[in-house]
């Protein structure tokens, strides 16, 4: 699976609070436990003070990433997806 760094930001306070309500529902219903096969969330942080956040994930395809993050994009979040290397992979590249 490919590792990805996902960053997101909300364009304005209204979007941040609407997405925040959707996040609480998603979190309280433990929907993160229903991630699709071929997707693994390694870590995530929200920087609530500025309406941004990051996730480090692994996915088998961009299609799977869209399944997970598309609904947040529809809410108005700007989402950036970047392929990344784990520390082991980075060390292997430089060997």
Task: List, for residues 6-33, the tens digit of each pLDDT value.
Answer: 999 998 888 888 888 888 888 888 887 7
pLDDT greater than 90 at residue 39 = yes
In a domain, 73, yes or no: yes
In a domain, 95, yes or no: no
Q: Which domain holds residue 22?
A: 2-84
How far apart are alpha carbons 61 and 42 in whole angstroms?
A: 16
pLDDT greater than 90 at residue 82 = yes
The CATH number of the domain holding residue 8 is 3.30.70.1060
In a domain, 94, yes or no: no
In a domain, 43, yes or no: yes
| Structural domain count of the chain | 1
In a domain, 92, yes or no: no
81 pLDDT tier (thresholds 50, 70, 90): very high
Closest CA to 38 of 2, 87, 5, 72: 2
């Amino acid at each position: 699976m490919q590792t990805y760094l996902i960053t997101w930001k909300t364009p304005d306070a209204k979007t941040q609070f609407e997405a925040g309500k959707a996040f609480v529902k998603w979190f309280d219903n433990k929907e993160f436990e229903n991630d699709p096969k071929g997707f693994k969330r390694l870590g995530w942080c929200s920087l609530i003070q500025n309406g941004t956040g990051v996730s480090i994930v692994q996915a088998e395809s961009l299609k799977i990433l869209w399944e997970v993050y598309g609904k947040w994009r529809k809410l108005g979040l700007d989402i950036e997806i970047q392929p990344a290397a784990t520390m082991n992979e980075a060390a292997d590249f430089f060997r």
